Amino acid sequence: MSIDDTIYAYAVGRIRALETRLVDRARLERMIDASSAEEALKVLAESDYANAIAELTDVHDFESILAAELKNTFDLIFDISPRPELISIMALRYDVHNLKVLFKAKYLGVKSDLLMLVGSLDLDKMEYAVSEDDYLDLPPMLRQAAEGISEDFLLNRDPQVIDLYLDRVLYDQLVTSARENGSKFLEGLFVRQIDLTNLRSLVRVKRMGLDRELLTKIFLPHGSIQLDRLTAMLDEPLESLITMLSMSDYADLAAEGVRDWIDKGTASRLEKLSDDYITAYLKPSKWTPFGLEPLIGYLWAKEI
C-alpha cells in the first residue's frame, strides 16, 4: 500500500449513499410500464436525475437530461475525489468525442451527435480550432491528431480517418496517463477496453473481407493481445478466433459474442457482452472499502 487509500474515505462514503439512488431494475420496469413519456419521467424524477429533470423544458429532450446528468456526475466526482487528476483522465474521452463531432460536422456537413459538456477543454476554443484549421491551442497530443486528420482528409477525402486518428490518440493517452499516475486499476480498465475494441475491429474487418493493412491501421496499441496474433487470424475462419481466446480472459465473451455474430450477422450481442465484461471488471468496486475504484465504478454505472 504505497498511497494511503483512506484519503478516499469521504468520497467513498458519499458514493455509497449515491449508489442507492441509481436507477435500478424495479424503477426501470416502472418506467417501461408508464403510459407516456411524462409518466416515465415522473418515475425518473424520484431518482438522482431529479435535478437534471427540473431544468428540462421539453419532455422528449431526454438526451439532454442524460448529458446534463453526466456533467453533474463528473463535476461531483471531480470535487469529492482527493486525486481529481485521475478523474480528468476519465473525462478525456469526451474531449475526443467532441473533436470527432466537430470534425464530422465540418467535413460531412452533418451534426450527428451532441457535443458533451464533460470534457476538460473549452468547447468554443475547440470549435474555433476546427473551423479555422488552427490547432495551436489544443493539448499536444490532440493537436498532432487534429493536424494529421486535416492533412489526411485533404489527400484522401476519407472521413474514416477522424475516428481512426482520434481513437488511437485517446487510448494511447488514457493508458499513458494511467501509468504516469501509477493507477494499476485504471490501466487494467483501459487495456481491457482496448482489447475489446481490437477484437471487434478484427471481426468487422474479417466479415467485410478486408485486408490486414486496414486492421493494422485501426489496431490500437497497448492491448494485451498483440497485433500479429490478430492479423494471423485474418487467414483463418472466425471459429479459430474463439479457440485462440479460449485460454484468455475473454473466452466466454468470444465464445458467445463471436458465435452470435457469425450466426446472426450483428455485433449487438458482442457489444453487450463487452459492456458486461467491463462491468464485471468494475464489480469489486461495490465492496472495496477505500480507494479510487468505487468512484470509477459509479461513473461507469452512470455512463451506460
Partner 1 sequence: MTGTEIALIGAALAVGLAGIGSAIGVGIVGQSASGLVTEDPDKFGQTLLLQALPGTQGIYGLLAGFIIMQNIGIIGDELLVLTVPQGYAFLMASIPIAIVGLVSGIYQGRVSASAVGLVAKRPEELGKGIVYAVMVETYAVLALLATIMLLFGIPL
| CB of 282 vs partner 1, minimal distance in Å | 16
State the Cα–Cα distance between residues 36 and 264, nearest whole angstrom.
33
Q: How many beta carbons lie within 10 A of that of residue 93, not counting itself?
A: 18
Binding flags for partner 1, 109-148, as an x/- string (CB under 8 A): ----------------------------------------
Distance (Å, rounded) from C-alpha 190 to C-alpha 63? Answer: 26
Cβ–Cβ < 8 Å for 117, 146: no
Interface pick for partner 1 out of 1, 3, 16, 88 (rule CB under 8 A): 16
How far does the chain reach from its first CA to its final CA, in angstroms?
Answer: 31
Examine residue 19 and tell whether it contacts partner 1 (CB under 8 A): yes
Task: Rule CB under 8 A: choose which of 62, 290, 300, 303 binds partner 1.
Answer: 290
- Nearest Cα residue to 220 out of 182, 163, 153, 272: 163
Check residue 10 for interaction with partner 1 (CB under 8 A): yes
If one asks whether residue 283 binds partner 1 (CB under 8 A), the answer comes out as no
Number of residues that bind partner 1 (CB under 8 A): 16
Angle 140-156/160-180 helices, nearest 10 degrees? 160
Contact call for residue 26 and partner 1 (CB under 8 A): no
How many beta carbons lie within 10 A of that of residue 79, not counting itself?
Answer: 11
Rounded Cα distance, 276 and 272, in Å: 6
Return d(Cα 206, Cα 214) in angstroms, integer. Answer: 10
Residue type, 81: S
Using rule CB under 8 A, residue 15 touches partner 1: yes
Say whether residue 279 binds partner 1 (CB under 8 A). no
Site string for partner 1, 50-89 (x = CB under 8 A): ------------------------------x---------
Closest approach, Cβ 106 to partner 1, in A, equals 42
Minimum separation from the CB atom of position 289 to partner 1 (A): 4
Position 9 contacts partner 1 (CB under 8 A): yes
Residues in the site for partner 1, rule: CB under 8 A?
6, 9-20, 80, 289-290
